[in-house]
Amino acid sequence: MENDRYIEELNSFLVDVFNGILKTEELYVTANCPDLSLREIHLIEEVCRAVDQGRDNRASAMAAALRVTAGTLTAAVNQLEGKGYLERARDGSDKRSVRLLPTQKGRQAMCHHRQFHQELVAAVVDRLSPEEAEVLLRSLGGIASFFQERCQGQNA
């Protein structure tokens, strides 16, 4: 029965932390970029990451990476383009393909968002010994695997 207590405590902790991170991140984003939602900053983040890492930044690839429909992505890109955060560019080799690119304003929003993540990670790491950090990383890896398996199962 001791295991049941751990399960209940861990469940409550994960739910509270997940919701707390999302709410805090949303407040941080809107304080620095009042015209952006959390979903919008995550789209900008994915576009910046794809461009910076030399990955596919076509609209279809961004929709797949974010697990949204092409229509949902188009609506979001329309809004972000109107706000000046993203721009569309026709692919040089395939005029049917549209590539998404961050604007300077989009890059600035990413800097604010990245700052939030740096502060979050620093707040955690500063409280841990190297051994504790290693255990935390392994544990979070297990949680990440759970989500990856669930997402892959729904996309099959």
Averaged pLDDT, groups of 10, the chain, 156 residues long: 80 91 90 93 96 94 92 96 95 81 96 92 93 93 88 62
pLDDT at 1: 57
* pLDDT of 92: 74
Distance in Å from the first CA to the final CA of the chain: 37
**The predicted structure's pLDDT at residue 135:** 94
User: Which helix (H) or strand (E) element contains residue 12?
Assistant: helix 2-32
Q: How far is CA 96 from CA 59, 60, 69, 78, in A?
A: 11, 11, 18, 18
The reported pTM is 0.82
- The reply to whether 88 falls in a domain is yes
Per-residue pLDDT at 69: 93
Q: What CATH number is associated with residue 87?
A: 1.10.10.10
Whether residue 26 is contained in a domain is answered as yes
Structural domains counted in the chain: 1
Q: Which of 57, 112, 104 minimizes the C-alpha distance to 84?
A: 104
Assess if residue 145 is contained within a domain: no
CB-CB contact of 64 with 71 (8 Å): no
Domain span at 55: 15-125
Say what the pLDDT of residue 119 is: 92
Is 143 a domain residue?
A: no
Q: Is residue 142 part of a domain?
A: no
Report pLDDT for 156.
46
Q: How far apart are CA 68 and CA 72, in angstroms?
A: 6
Residues 6+ apart with CB under 8 A from 36: 29, 30, 44, 83, 85, 109
pLDDT given at position 147: 85
Q: Give the pLDDT confidence score for residue 6 in this predicted structure.
A: 85
- Name beta bridge partners: 102: 86
Asked, for residue 6, whether it belongs to a domain, the answer is no
The pLDDT assigned to 113 comes to 92
Residue 148: strand, helix, or coil = helix
